[in-house]
Amino acid sequence: MNKRRKVQEKHEVFLVDAFIAWWVAKTGEKFRVISRPHPEPPEAIVQSDERTSWIEVTDAFHSDEWAQDLYSNATPEEIHKPMGQGPYMDMDAQMAKRFASLLKKKLSKNSYTETFKKYGHGILLVGMQSPWFNDQTCDMMRAECKRTDWKTNQGYFSRVFISYSSLNQLTFEEWKL
């Protein structure tokens, strides 16, 4: 296993657990993790009194350089490779395009077929990884998603949520296509 995979797995576990806590507080539906399949996907099989589902986690980084900065900083025994000084322009547009592309790729994947057959529809969590993420970014993401052709969506996910930091707290928001 590469060094970054351990960091990524910890991040995925954290995000699933944070989402479940948020979901319980928001809806009262008490999901619990019954399995964390390896190799995945998905990151978790979850169950409540009402249903069994599954959760897949991915991250939308505003750039490959930002992803490398974050992962190299968090990975023990790896030299931190910080993102350059800039200047940076059109960051919201860049994030919107990368998000729509990532979302289309995830919704179009056939690798969820067996999980879908066994557990039904899943939940997709997309971590928004941008130091510039704000309401304007979301507006541009919505506009980009409206321009995107979703015909290849396999229908494996019943819901998509984005996660982001707001007032130094992780929050979730349902994303409608």
Residue pLDDT, tens place only, 125-143: 999 988 889 999 999 999 9
Asked if residue 8 belongs to a domain, the reply is yes
Whether omega for the bond prior to residue 82 falls within 30 degrees of 0, making it cis, is no
Q: Count the domains in the chain.
A: 1
Asked if residue 10 belongs to a domain, the reply is yes
Report pLDDT for 137: 95
The answer, yes or no, to whether residue 158 has pLDDT greater than 60, is: yes
Phi and psi based region of residue 55 (left: phi greater than 0; alpha: psi -120 to 50; beta: remaining): beta
Report pLDDT for 81: 79
Asked if residue 44 belongs to a domain, the reply is no
Domain range for 22 is 3-36+57-127+140-175
The answer, yes or no, to whether residue 1 has pLDDT greater than 60, is: no
Report pLDDT for 69: 64
Question: Mean pLDDT, to the nearest integer, of 40-69?
Answer: 87
Question: Mean pLDDT, to the nearest integer, of 108-117?
Answer: 95
Asked if residue 78 belongs to a domain, the reply is yes
Asked if residue 133 belongs to a domain, the reply is no
End-to-end CA separation in angstroms for the chain? 35
- Report the C-alpha gap between 52 and 46 in whole angstroms: 6
Q: Kindly state the DSSP code that residue 101 receives in the 8-state scheme.
A: H
| pLDDT, tens digit (0-9, with 9 covering 90-100), for 73-102 | 667 787 877 777 877 778 899 999 999 999
H-helix segments, the chain: 3-27, 64-74, 91-108, 113-119, 135-147
